[in-house]
Structure 1
């Protein structure tokens, strides 16, 4: 199907022997090199001490910045490694200055954590949050976005691949609008990095955030923020410590120049090393090859789900990702997920409170979400569909 040696990557993935894991949009199964790197560092901390282990593995820690920069087409100075994608998004977003009357444009398919932060900022600072209409396919309408632009728009904040379905928003086209108007552009790439090629130069975003645990197959508790040098010097993070800034005098401090101003001193060093290994693993396979296999598997899953009585595939958009959302007539999504898990088939459920602007408008309280990755197989897709048929 692609250039990926599926047998090899499955041998690298211990969980493939135990479960049919179709919850990669939640947390993917880590490959053995990632787990080994994390455990090895924890063992080193156990043996010689945490500070000492960090010093001894400084080159591996620094390599993570190089790997992430290569992954998204950035410079290493543009990368901050933080605890998770939400913290990365918050650190970028809450650094932006606001004035009453400022406008934020966002997408209908936004994730709850982002939407709540937008609404909190509207309440605190008197800014306006406006949802850009979808086009006929369900993606953000770029023409409608352009028509909404005026001198009061200070931010375009969009999720690249939403949590609740296969939609891929037109990130590059949105970036063109943002650059033409000189507006800051924040892209949540939590669900796209690791399954799709993502290049910040091509996209034209000022801020990009992502996690380690999903399609990158990295450790939980890891994430990163890309911050363009174009805006970085104008952003002061919402909180600082002795890592993000230097105490220069009794009543003065200096924020560091690179993107690590968004980090804090204490972090999981084992997780950071593991994240770098996960990025290397993805880069070695090739993001184009990963996208091709993930897309093919997701297309196959959608076709087979559509053939099942009572099953409705709910994905929107013309370009689709490895996330497949569906409902079954007369059946509760949570109950379906529980029954599948009893057969060692992992899926998840997206609920209306995770994506209210989207799901509520479509009259959907919940969806079953099956998300494939390159180590999945068509036999596993068949297993999911057969299980659904038996309980239909």
Structure 2
């Protein structure tokens, strides 16, 4: 606990419950960026080879976090949307092909597939408000279904899907399985091999506790060369340091999706943040997060007028709780909480709380106390 108290030195009175949006950095990430800035100030890029060592460690940490067979399957990308676009505009589509998604997806995992309409691709949005959402998704896969793209955890409701079942079902049907893992990676264990996904992607600025502008793209090795490339540059070549070479080919690894100079500043921060998750261990992270979500859920359920809008079953959630409060418009409730230094979000017709594994008990208790006062007002 002392480690976490030292790592997350947030402002007095701040009640941060917004990791599903943008997370605070741990102290080690801040120090890594400060050190990198000082090095740039005094030495410039004199020690660039040392920077590449940090970048290599980042790839290794990400490979372990996703349980990728190798770092060759890992690309460093700007964000989830970029990775989804690599898939959507890399596959060779035919008129009549179908993509299956849910009706609760964040725009990044909807718009990119709808943009394929000009190629004759049809997008099927499947309702998740059913007793068996996985069954509904798999039942929607027909002979024309080419790919299913689903969020591991829905951004508004917090619904967590059974990725093992979906991956197995897609494999049996010959459907490519694409997972937007942004609301799970760093919050709960993730196993790309076990779920047999073709592609997975996530930003680093949520549960991974990193900066915006750097994310991960996992591409299964047998599919890398099937994705047509639309971005070219020096960094995505098989021999990126041979600047005079006339003949060239894309890198055989997932680096083929990294066309130009890397986000080295972001790499310094994210590598440091992931080192903390590894020290704690993802099993312990998940357990501590579940304890905090359950604490919040139980407290909210005891407040008169609170309507919980997220799954109550622990197997159906990760780090998100969504609710409404009778007598309060969402905007007014959000503004009131914000004024009391409760950092949260408005999503899906309610207020979304998202603690993390390190969230202090006082943050939860003080937030619940504020809501009880509002319910009694």
Kept in 1, the 8 Å contact 2:15–2:342? The answer is yes
Q: CA offsets per residue over residues 323-352 of structure 1, 9 Å max, x none?
A: 11011123222222221121111111115x
Shift of 1:379: 2.4
Kept in 2, the 8 Å contact 1:39–1:270? The answer is no
Rounded Cα–Cα distance in structure 2 between residues aligned with 1:102 and 1:252: 36
Q: CA offsets per residue over residues 268-312 of structure 1, 9 Å max, x none?
A: 202112212211210111111111111111111111111112211
Shift of 1:92: 2.8
Identify the residue that residue 73 of structure 1 maps to in structure 2.
67
Shift of 1:41: 1.2
Q: Of 62, 70, 75, which residue of structure 1 is paired with 2:56?
A: 62
**Alignment pair present for 1:242 and 2:234:** yes
**Alignment pair present for 1:332 and 2:329:** yes
Kept in 1, the 8 Å contact 2:51–2:264? The answer is no
**Alignment pair present for 1:233 and 2:230:** no
Rounded Cα–Cα distance in structure 1 between residues aligned with 2:57 and 2:265: 13
Kept in 2, the 8 Å contact 1:312–1:326? The answer is yes
Kept in 1, the 8 Å contact 2:75–2:257? The answer is yes
Identify the residue that residue 166 of structure 1 maps to in structure 2.
158
Rounded Cα–Cα distance in structure 1 between residues aligned with 2:350 and 2:47: 44
SS state of the match for residue 277, structure 2? helix
Shift of 1:317: 7.0
Q: 1:343 to 1:146 in 2, by over 3 A?
A: closer
Rounded Cα–Cα distance in structure 1 between residues aligned with 2:226 and 2:218: 15
Kept in 1, the 8 Å contact 2:102–2:137? The answer is no
Rounded Cα–Cα distance in structure 1 between residues aligned with 2:244 and 2:9: 53
Rounded Cα–Cα distance in structure 2 between residues aligned with 1:216 and 1:316: 23
Q: 1:227 to 1:111 in 2, by over 3 A?
A: same
Rounded Cα–Cα distance in structure 2 between residues aligned with 1:145 and 1:311: 31
Identify the residue that residue 292 of structure 2 maps to in structure 1.
297
Name which of structure 1's ranges 189-198 and 102-111 shifts more when overlaid on structure 2. Answer: 102-111
Identify the residue that residue 99 of structure 1 maps to in structure 2.
94
**Alignment pair present for 1:284 and 2:279:** yes
Number of residue pairs matched?
369
SS state of the match for residue 112, structure 2? helix
Name which of structure 1's ranges 233-242 and 177-186 shifts more when overlaid on structure 2. Answer: 233-242
State the TM-score, normalized to the length of structure 1.
0.88
Kept in 2, the 8 Å contact 1:45–1:53? The answer is no
Structure 2 unaligned segments of length 5 or more: list them.
none
Rounded Cα–Cα distance in structure 1 between residues aligned with 2:245 and 2:366: 65
Kept in 2, the 8 Å contact 1:167–1:317? The answer is no
Rounded Cα–Cα distance in structure 2 between residues aligned with 1:317 and 1:81: 35
Within 5 A, what are the aligned runs for 1:188-207? 188-207=180-199
Q: Please tell me the root mean square deviation across aligned C-alpha atoms, in Å.
A: 2.2
Q: CA offsets per residue over residues 228-271 of structure 1, 9 Å max, x none?
A: 00211111233222212469999975221111111132332021
Structure 1 unaligned segments of length 5 or more: list them.
352-365
State the TM-score, normalized to the length of structure 2.
0.92
Q: CA offsets per residue over residues 177-199 of structure 1, 9 Å max, x none?
A: 11112221110000100010001
Kept in 2, the 8 Å contact 1:54–1:269? The answer is no
SS state of the match for residue 372, structure 2? helix
**Alignment pair present for 1:391 and 2:368:** no
Shift of 1:146: 3.2
